[in-house]
Structure 1
Amino acid sequence: MSPCNSSRDDQTAIIHYKESRDMKKMDTDFHKLNKRVLKTYGKKFEVSPDALVSAPGRVNLIGEYTDFNRGFVLPMAIDRYLVMALGKREDEIIRVISEDFKEETSVDINALAKKEKHSWGDYISGSIWALKKNGCNVHGFNCVISGNIPVGAGLSSSAALEMAVLRAASWISGIPWNQTEMAKLGQLAENRWVGVNCGIMDQLTSSAGKKGHALLIDCETLSVQPCPVPEISVLVMDTATRRNLVASAYNERRQQCLTAAGKMGLSSLRGADMALLEKNRSCMDADTSNRAEHVIKENIRVLDAVQAMEKNDPRKLGKLIYKSHESLRDCFDVSSPALNDIVECSMEEPACFGARMTGAGFGGCAIALTEKGKEQEFIRNVSLCYEKKTGLEPAIYVCSPSDGVAVKTLKKSLMS
């Protein structure tokens, strides 16, 4: 059996992400985010908006790279949001102002076109394209967006933007809202318009999140089972690193999984087990078989994690989460030195039940589960340990499981 040792050590594209330090200063107050977009909307359009939309980011507790293999995932929506103030237009133009990037983009609903250079506007035009492809009649609107989900950190800021745009367009245009179907349109936008072959986990979590719960998502049937989170704290740890070309590495691993499934006579790795893999391992190269091994064992870990949560057993849950990290590091080859360092610093803390990288990897964020009441000590010690190892200052913050995308209708009044 393969020990799943990483086949290469290509870290040349890792970059330091100094902006992530601003997460410590970033306004995490949801109501202040709303006030910010309301104020900017009034200044830019000289009228108050019709509605506010909020869409959360997410962390995945366990079940990484299993969603596009039709497997199981256990994410939770978090109290970090993209918020949007919006108002209807009389034409078919969507005008979007980003408060965070200090940029503006416009989308002509009747003349959708991909831009040569990728930008945050692609997620907006792609979401509208997906609605139109589904036969929806979309009206124009103005909007101002802002958020406190760090970009490129593995917390699904892009999915939050997609779901916010879909919710806004649906509300403005009178399109019935179905959280699963809209998540599928968000995935379609990212796959076909943006060019990232992601699964549906990110969009469905942002759409269907439930306060106080993680979601057991069966990515084959798209069933969603809310699972109460035990009395523990979930901390997100931003390593202050990002990696370029994550999309190409992501797509490569998706193709390797499809290849492995094909070698075993399957359409996806959902139906595979270790016995079938061992029978066919000689037909695959080492990387391909290692990818399959991770997915097969990760699906089992997800279901075991749900049982641990049901039994309120945070120690077992933590052990499963760390096993997931080891597999992502050694079998799936998507971790990085920075992610490994912050996970190991976390595991040295007595209050930590378990830690792992989260998201696509290669940089970005890890998560840790800790005892309640020990968060500040944990943050202080892990920050010191990580900075000593890397020379980088992490941003570590406690997250709570939150509800999914929502819209709030506002009373219309002219701005003075």
Structure 2
Amino acid sequence: MNDILIQNTTAFFEKSFGSVPQKVVLSPGRINIIGEHIDYNDGYVLPAAIDKIICFAFEKNDSKKSKIIAIDLNEEFEIDLTQEVKLSKVVWTNYIRGVIKQLQDNGFSFEGFNCVFSSNIPVGSGLSSSAALECGMIYGIKELFNLDIQKLDISLLGQKAEHWVGINCGIMDQFSSVHGLENKVIKLDCNTLEYEYHNADFKDYSLILMDSNVKHSLFTSEYNTRRIECEEGLAIIKAEFPEIKSFRDCSEEQVLNLKNKMSEKVFSRVHFVVKEINRVVKACEALDQGNIEVLGQLLFETHYGLSQEYEVSCEELDMLVNTAKDDDAIIGSRLMGGGFGGCTINLIKKGHENDIKSKFSNLYLDTFGIELKFYDVKISNGTTLL
């Protein structure tokens, strides 16, 4: 599938600009096996790049302006690199404007370029298409103009670009899009940015995403609210236990002891975060030991926390996970991504995939009148030059 995407993107570039692209960049989406909503809470996460990508084609155009075409949207824009970068009402362009602004603000010098891009990452499904867009754009400009930008800095610049757009994201999405390796998950310390790879051999199980095809509008406002609630909870913990620097230093027992000093909502958020950080550690142990059944159980536990304590699930996602829990062919399932829609990630016994897809598709349509989509994913390499 990616071969066709690459061919179509380069052909579109040649048709649009009358030349062969000088650089072609592939930038992947990502999944997160476990460790949700803790990248901005100094926790550990366990993401991986996947074989769903954005393909970019670039060339220098020997001017001070850049022209960027989004093939899938049939839209384009031009930006004058000598002018101050400002937000636009055309939202998708802001991620690219943000990248250009961050590069310029950090002293990187580059000139005009032409770029087209196309994607097979489903937008709005929690697979971080925005991080793939930011990091792929930075990588392409870096390669085109021989800029000295390390992998970590690509991740950090991408994150800053997204902050500029108005999404106060953690580092996980950009980091995993850049640092991914085939058949490896990344245990990332979001505090120090230290990381280690663990083998992602799911043995007798397939990794399948179920796309709820809903995206509730609460996401941005509630996302930022959760950050504030967690910061409030951590401040209460630090006041009582000065030795605690971040949530990872905190035990569940300490949180329980402070329940009466927090509002009900703040307690629920903090309790989830501390338990989720611990689940990531257990998930790495399960992968190292090849105990995929334990990993599956951890996924179910994470979903319960996301739904009942962190309150970022929705009726559609809860239905999918509850149905999965009652099916012997599925050993683990949870919502993945920010929540309020998007995908569930599922570990399904090999040989049962088609039956599961048929069963869930019919049930979901009957319940909500919405088509359920499925994505078979494989763990793949990070942002790279073709």
TM-score range for the pair, normalised by the shorter chain length: over 0.9
Deviation sequence 1:376-399 (CA, Å, 0-9, x none): 222122212222222211001210
Alignment partner of 1:200 is 2:174: no
Please state whether the residue corresponding to 1:264 is helix, strand or coil. Answer: helix
Letter in 2 for 1:215: I
Shift of residue 221, structure 1, vs aligned partner: 1.4
Aligned partners of 2:262, 2:80: CA distance in 1, in Å?
47
Alignment partner of 1:254 is 2:215: no
Deviation sequence 1:85-141 (CA, Å, 0-9, x none): 111121232211011000001222222432352511111010111112222112221
Letter in 2 for 1:111: Q
Alignment partner of 1:71 is 2:43: yes
Alignment partner of 1:341 is 2:319: yes
Please state whether the residue corresponding to 2:188 is helix, strand or coil. Answer: strand
Aligned partners of 1:149, 1:326: CA distance in 2, in Å?
27
Please state whether the residue corresponding to 2:337 is helix, strand or coil. Answer: coil
Match among 54, 58, 64 for residue 30 of structure 2: 58
Query: Which residue of 2 is the match for residue 185 of structure 1?
Result: 157
Match among 108, 113, 118 for residue 85 of structure 2: 113
Shift of residue 267, structure 1, vs aligned partner: 5.3
Alignment of 1:31-46 (within 5 A): 31-46=3-18
User: So what's the TM-score if we normalise by structure 2?
Assistant: 0.95
Alignment partner of 1:137 is 2:148: no
Match among 248, 258, 263 for residue 280 of structure 1: 258
Shift of residue 344, structure 1, vs aligned partner: 1.9
4+ residue runs over 4 A deviation: none
Alignment partner of 1:218 is 2:189: yes
Shift of residue 236, structure 1, vs aligned partner: 0.9
Aligned partners of 1:210, 1:116: CA distance in 2, in Å?
35
Aligned partners of 2:325, 2:261: CA distance in 1, in Å?
37
Alignment of 1:303-314 (within 5 A): 303-314=281-292
Shift of residue 312, structure 1, vs aligned partner: 0.7
Please state whether the residue corresponding to 1:100 is helix, strand or coil. Answer: helix
Letter in 2 for 1:205: S
CA-atom RMSD, angstroms? Answer: 1.3
Match among 366, 369, 372 for residue 391 of structure 1: 369
Aligned partners of 1:270, 1:130: CA distance in 2, in Å?
30
Aligned partners of 2:185, 2:51: CA distance in 1, in Å?
13
Answer with 264-273 or 102-111: which moved more: 264-273
Structure 2 gaps of 5+ residues are 239-243
User: Is the contact between residue 139 and residue 172 of structure 1 (CA under 8 Å) also seen in structure 2?
Assistant: no
Please state whether the residue corresponding to 1:214 is helix, strand or coil. Answer: strand
Aligned partners of 2:352, 2:80: CA distance in 1, in Å?
51
Aligned partners of 1:149, 1:84: CA distance in 2, in Å?
13
User: Is the contact between residue 55 and residue 164 of structure 1 (CA under 8 Å) also seen in structure 2?
Assistant: yes
Shift of residue 286, structure 1, vs aligned partner: 0.9
Shift of residue 228, structure 1, vs aligned partner: 1.1
User: What is the percentage of aligned positions where both structures have the same residue?
Assistant: 34
User: Is the contact between residue 321 and residue 355 of structure 1 (CA under 8 Å) also seen in structure 2?
Assistant: yes
Query: Which residue of 2 is the match for residue 381 of structure 1?
Result: 359
User: So what's the TM-score if we normalise by structure 1?
Assistant: 0.88
Query: Which residue of 2 is the match for residue 124 of structure 1?
Result: 96
Letter in 1 for 2:186: L
User: Is the contact between residue 154 and residue 364 of structure 1 (CA under 8 Å) also seen in structure 2?
Assistant: yes
Aligned partners of 1:74, 1:107: CA distance in 2, in Å?
37
Query: Which residue of 1 is the match for residue 208 of structure 2?
Result: 235
Alignment partner of 1:100 is 2:109: no
Letter in 1 for 2:188: I
Shift of residue 273, structure 1, vs aligned partner: 1.9
Note closer, same or farther for the CA distance 1:118–1:144 as it changes in structure 2 (3 Å cut). Answer: closer
